[in-house]
Amino acid sequence: MRISNFVKVLTCAAALQLGAGAAMADDVKNPWQIRVRLIDVAPDESSTTSIGGQANVDSSLVPELDISYFWTENWSTELILATSKHNVTATGTDLGDLDLGHTWALPPTLLMQYHFNAENSVRPYLGAGVNYTFFYSSDPGDLTSINYDNGFGLAAQAGVDIDVNDDWFFNLDVKKLWLNTDVSINGGAVTADVDLDPWVFGIGFGRRF
């Protein structure tokens, strides 16, 4: 009789433990998250050129996709993907004002983030990381040819996620990228060292899966 009662107790305890484990599993969030944003890429450029003057790069409004993986509820890694087209001019050069055409920039950026208030509906975060910028499909405008060197840069980020419902959240985000490129014009007849250093302002929505 005692053995039978002991078995019943063990059976009940096991059932309770399984139930508690299932409840905990329901509370565990999937580590993957995505966001889709509309971003304004606004270069904060400065430059030196072999013919004097200043390079000017306009802003670009484009979509952005980012994918995050949460190592803990506070720490995550985010990969940001976007590409933007920018018109380029040079003013005050020895040759006057020049139309340098346009170029496309693709700066995949990898950030490590810390999320505050992880269990709340409003969750600010900070991030820092690196980017590598590719320039492609460059048009020389009034010139014969133009080439932009690819390169590494640093990135910093601040933002906030605000829950809309159990699945989706609203996002505001700002990033600062430090991007430098050496520019070769007309086969090297003219050169420039350009710091693009854009601010990237974003608004969008995201979901944690």
Return the percent helix, strand and coil in the chain, to nearest 5.
Answer: 15, 65, 25
Q: State how beta strands 60-70 and 32-42 pair.
A: antiparallel
Q: Which pTM was predicted?
A: 0.83
CA dihedral 7, 11, 14, 19 (to 10 degrees): -160
Q: Give the closest residue to 193 by CA, choosing from 80, 22, 46.
A: 46
- The neighbour count for residue 157, using CB atoms within 10 Å, is 22
Which are the contacts of 121, defined by CB distance < 8 A and separation ≥ 6?
A: 162, 163
pLDDT in single tens digits along all 209 residues of the chain: 444 554 454 345 444 444 444 443 344 579 999 999 999 999 999 999 999 999 999 999 999 999 999 999 999 999 999 999 999 999 999 988 999 999 999 999 999 999 999 999 999 999 999 999 999 999 998 889 999 999 999 999 999 999 999 899 999 999 999 999 999 999 999 999 999 999 999 999 999 98
- pLDDT score of 9: 42
pLDDT at 143: 87
